[in-house]
Amino acid sequence: MNYKNPDENGYYGEFGGAFVPEMLYPNVEELQNNYLNIIASSEFQEEFQDLLKNYVGRATPLYFAKNLSEKYQTQIYLKREDLNHTGAHKINNALGQALLAKKLGKHRIIAETGAGQHGVATATACALLGLECIVYMGEVDIARQAPNVARMKMLGATVIPATSGSKTLKDAVNEALRDWINNSTTTHYIIGSVVGPHPFPDLVARFQSVISEEIKWQLKEKIGRENPDYVMACVGGGSNAAGTFYHFVNEEDVKLIAAEAGGFGVDSGKSAATTFLGTLGVLHGSKSLVMQTEDGQVIEPHSISAGLDYPGIGPFHANLFKEKRAEFFSINDDEALKSAMELTKLEGIIPALESAHALAVLEKKKFKKDDVVVICLSGRGDKDMETYLKNL
Ligand SMILES: *Cc1c(COP(=O)(O)O)cnc(C)c1O
């Protein structure tokens, strides 16, 4: 099976597609018809690769974590996405899509954000490339994430509160979609993870695939072979995991491990572990696994990490789960906190709470002494200091 890219209708197995209101067809079709040609062009690639290198700071190191390896009696390498400009992997995608928007002749960017991380990455890319930037954010999230709101404003973005429903991410998505319908000729919608209608999951996965592209040559340099035994990443919507898995997903000798947010526990009613709790449904324009009631109402997720607090999972990952190509773990809030503290003590690296979920798999699965295990450290922990101080 080809797990890497969707078919021409945007399906990964039974998951994916483009379920949008008729008024959005022109926007989505314009993207579907143009994205592959534009990102394959040498003009786009030259500009994008130059920015990844000189602006984002790529290639990010593949760091052999000696102390962590000793503790778990295996060979652990950390892919340091935390060292990117703006502190996480999200900038890879935000820059790629902002450049794509320019090539499509759009000068206005909209985005929606929950914790504010994607909003900051998008506002950064727009400041750099001279694009107007509007970020929709739930009113409740604006209050919870004041430092990121301040960053977006300083970067020149307009932050518009979503005041309907629960005043959180899903309401911000609705506002963004409404905006896109009304401003289709001038505006591109930068979606922040491998979710949304086709072609967004594939588009975002391609922009994040630089992560596994680098892992391959870096491993070759360090250990003489391109493929590790395991790659691991946390999954919210799934973009850092898609980037980490991308160039390994069709190679049978590499095992894939995904860590979802268990919150207080999968049976607690306060969780975000979609593969454990989700059923087939349509969320944000694609068919995938969704946490929902029997009559299709989306269930509010919970995770201590804002970036994993999402009631769905991208179709790329739903397919890996269904086909048992990847192994999924559910990591609870307290387990993630413990792993964050452990990495800090052993290696002097304060990880993002999201990334700590991937690290926590080390406690749950036994690896062999000579297994090579690559873990994506998706972001740094500065943004989580308040939570760490409260809980540690
Ligand atoms: C947003 C975020 C995530 C979760 O998003 P994915 O699309 O699943 O990668 C993970 N880690 C960090 C640091 C984030 O900011």
For 220-275, write each residue's pLDDT tens digit: 999 999 999 999 999 999 999 999 999 999 999 999 999 999 999 999 999 999 99
- 306 pLDDT band (50/70/90 cuts)? confident
Report whether 336 contacts 360 (CB < 8 A).
yes
Give the pLDDT mean for 195-214: 98
112 is catalytic: yes
Give the pLDDT mean for 107-131: 96
pLDDT value, residue 339: 98
Among 175, 260, 378, 383, which one carries the catalytic annotation?
378
pLDDT value, residue 200: 98
Kindly list the structural domains of the chain, giving each domain's residue range(s) and its CATH number in brackets, ordered by start: 21-51+90-204 (3.40.50.1100), 57-87+209-391 (3.40.50.1100)
pLDDT value, residue 145: 87
pLDDT value, residue 49: 98
Among 112, 260, 342, 347, which one carries the catalytic annotation?
112
Q: Probe ligand 1: pick from 60, 117, 204, max atoms within 8 Å of CB?
A: 117
> Is pLDDT above 80 for 388?
yes
294 is catalytic: no
Give the pLDDT mean for 173-201: 96
pLDDT value, residue 254: 98
Give the pLDDT mean for 182-202: 97
Protein residue whose Cα sits closest to atom 10 of ligand 1 = 354
Q: What's the CA-to-centroid distance between 224 and ligand 1, angstroms?
A: 30
With a CB cutoff of 8 Å and minimum separation 6, the contacts of 114 are: 137, 138, 141, 168, 169, 172, 306, 307, 309, 310
> Is pLDDT above 90 for 318?
yes
The stretches of 249-314 forming alpha helices (DSSP H) are: 274-277
pLDDT value, residue 218: 98
Instruction: Report the atom number in ligand 1 closest to the C-alpha of 192.
Output: 7
CA dihedral 160, 166, 172, 173 (to 10 degrees): -170
70 is catalytic: no
> Is pLDDT above 90 for 278?
yes
Q: What's the CA-to-centroid distance between 90 and ligand 1, angstroms?
A: 7
Q: Probe ligand 1: pick from 193, 232, 257, 382, max atoms within 8 Å of CB?
A: 193
pLDDT value, residue 10: 98
Listed range (3-7, 85-89, 143-147) with the worst mean pLDDT: 143-147
Condensed to tens digits (0 to 9), the pLDDT of residues 13-70 reads: 999 999 999 999 999 999 999 999 999 999 999 999 999 999 999 999 999 999 999 9
Listing from the earlier edge strand, what are the strands of the sheet with 75-80? 62-64, 75-80, 372-377, 230-234, 255-263, 326-332
Burial class of residue 276 in the structure, from the number of CB atoms within 10 Å of its CB (0-12 exposed, 13-18 middle, 19+ buried) = middle
Closest by CA to 283, choosing from 271, 294, 267, 299, is: 299
Q: What's the CA-to-centroid distance between 72 and ligand 1, angstroms?
A: 25
- The Cα–Cα gap between 201 and 12 comes to 10
Q: What's the CA-to-centroid distance between 359 and ligand 1, angstroms?
A: 14
Protein residue whose Cα sits closest to atom 1 of ligand 1 = 307
- 165 pLDDT band (50/70/90 cuts)? confident
Residue 59: asked if its preceding bond is cis (omega within 30°), the reply is: yes
Residues with CB under 6 A from ligand 1: 88, 90, 117, 193, 234-241, 307-308, 352, 354-355, 378-379
> Percent of the chain beyond pLDDT 90?
93
Q: What's the CA-to-centroid distance between 236 and ligand 1, angstroms?
A: 6
Closest by CA to 314, choosing from 8, 13, 1, 21, is: 13
Residue found under tokens 């786009």: 44
Instruction: Report the atom number in ligand 1 closest to the C-alpha of 194.
Output: 7
pLDDT value, residue 288: 98
> Is pLDDT above 90 for 289?
yes
Q: What's the CA-to-centroid distance between 92 and ligand 1, angstroms?
A: 12
Among 90, 102, 106, 383, which one carries the catalytic annotation?
90
> Is pLDDT above 80 for 392?
no
> Is pLDDT above 90 for 94?
yes
Q: Probe ligand 1: pick from 60, 81, 89, max atoms within 8 Å of CB?
A: 89
